[in-house]
Every structure is written in C-alpha cells, then in structure tokens.
Amino acid sequence: GQQVMQIPQYQHVQEGEDFTTYCNSSTTLSNIQWYKQRPGGHPVFLIQLVKSGEVKKQKRLTFQFGEAKKNSSLHITATQTTDVGTYFCAVNSGYSTLTFGKGTMLLVSP
Amino acid sequence: SAVISQKPSRDICQRGTSLTIQCQVDSQVTMMFWYRQQPGQSLTLIATANQGSEATYESGFVIDKFPISRPNLTFSTLTVSNMSPEDSSIYLCSVGDRATGELFFGEGSRLTVL
C-alpha cells in the first residue's frame, strides 16, 4: 500500500512563531488528507487536497499539495497554544482505506 | 458528519484475558474501520468491517487475535484476544464520508494490559 514519510517528528515553538510539517511520498498520490489530534483526543479531519499544486487556507493554516502530487505541507502562521497537538497526513492505501503518516507533534510555549 | 460512540473508553486488563470494544454510529454506514494507536505512535489500520461479510484484515493482524463482528449497519465490535502488555494501545473506530473521503473517529478505547 501507499507509504508516506512525515517530518519533523516533533517541533517545539514559542507562541507566535510559525510551524510547518511535511509529507512526502515516492509515488504519485490521488489525494492527501490532514488530521489534527489534540492530546488525549481523537484525530479530527482538517482538509483534503486533490489537485496538483493546490493551496488551501483555513485561517492561520495553509495547506499545499505539490505539483507532482508527491508531497504536501501544512503551515501554521503565528502559532497559538490552541494549536498544540499532533498533525497527521493520510493517503489512500486501498479501497476507502487510509494510511497515516507518523505525525508531527507540535508543542507551543506561551 | 457522523457521531461515533465507543465503549469502554478505557480499561485495565490482565494478561491472557480478552476484551470487546463496542462502536455505535448514529447513521447507517457500509464500512467501519478499526485502528490501533500505540503510545506516542501513529494510527495503524487493523481491519475493515463490512456488514454481511467477513472483515478484511491488514497485514500483521489476524482474525484469531482481533475478531470483529458487524451485525448491522450502525454497530461493530472488536475483540482483543489473549491480551499481552504489547496490546496496550488506543483502539479507534472510524467511518468514512463517501462524498468527501473524510474519516470520523470515535473517542477511542484506551487499553492497558498488565
């Protein structure tokens, strides 16, 4: 099935700093999804990217899908303590099934 | 969207015992997915539960260890059999939105095996 590498594994920032996590695949992806999991919570869907070169924004979050559809990024501008959690990318690995990246844990210090 | 209820939310179990996790969805769905999330790790798909047919297991997971039931379109159970400390994980039930592909997750069942 599809495999996706996600980096960094962990990042600790000061509140107000920016944050970016990256997902990379060796093969072309049909689409990519992003999820956020707060500490002690369950994953919550953020967005799905489908088109080559697609860029979507949700307030301070910017999601990009590479031109070759092999990589994606999630960028948070001016992080806040509410952004704390683990961010996962996920790709289709079969009929209606998703494979998740290892996730990037974000810690934000006030 | 879908609302998913899982129980138990957490349990502490003894080695060698089995535990059944229940998952109830507020709407009828064809497929339900069971994921495992080991401490500090990502989510790993255990199996896909289809109503009216056998569950489809991912590589590394077998029916004897993780039997699944899917008696109707809103309910599924996952049993973790003959547990060992390595089975200590969060087990998550999820369903997908056919239109968007988005997955909705239950709150998870946190198992600790002593």
Asked whether the beta carbons of residue B96 and residue A43 sit closer than 8 angstroms, the reply is no
pLDDT of residue A47: 96
Q: Quick check: A31 contacting B, CB < 8 Å?
A: yes
Q: Quick check: A64 contacting B, CB < 8 Å?
A: no
Q: For residue B68, give Cα distances in angstroms to B34, B80, B81, B101.
A: 9, 9, 11, 23
pLDDT bracket for residue B53 (50, 70, 90): confident
Q: What are phi and psi of B52, to 5 degrees?
A: 85, 5
Mean pLDDT for the stretch of residues B37-45 = 94
State how beta strands A10-14 and B4-7 pair. Answer: unpaired
Which stretches within A33-77 are classed as H helix?
A: none
Chain A residues lying within 8 Å of B48, measured CB to CB? 96-97
- Does the pLDDT at position A80 exceed 70? yes
**Residue of higher predicted confidence among B111 and B101:** B111
pLDDT bracket for residue B91 (50, 70, 90): very high
Q: Quick check: A98 contacting B, CB < 8 Å?
A: yes
**Residue of higher predicted confidence among B9 and B1:** B9
Contact criterion met (CB below 8 Å) for B32 and B22: no
- Does the pLDDT at position B68 exceed 90? yes
- Does the pLDDT at position A93 exceed 90? no
Q: Which helix (H) or strand (E) holds B110?
A: strand B109-113
pLDDT of residue A31: 93
CA-based nearest residue in chain A for residue B97: A96
pLDDT of residue B85: 96
Asked whether the beta carbons of residue B45 and residue A93 sit closer than 8 angstroms, the reply is yes
Measure the CA–CA gap between A11 and B114, rounded to whole angstroms: 32
Distance from CA of B61 to the nearest CA of A (A): 15
What amino acid is encoded at B61 in this protein? F
pLDDT bracket for residue A41 (50, 70, 90): very high
Mean pLDDT for the stretch of residues A7-14 = 97
pLDDT bracket for residue B98 (50, 70, 90): confident
Q: Quick check: B13 contacting A, CB < 8 Å?
A: no
The rounded mean pLDDT for chain A is 95
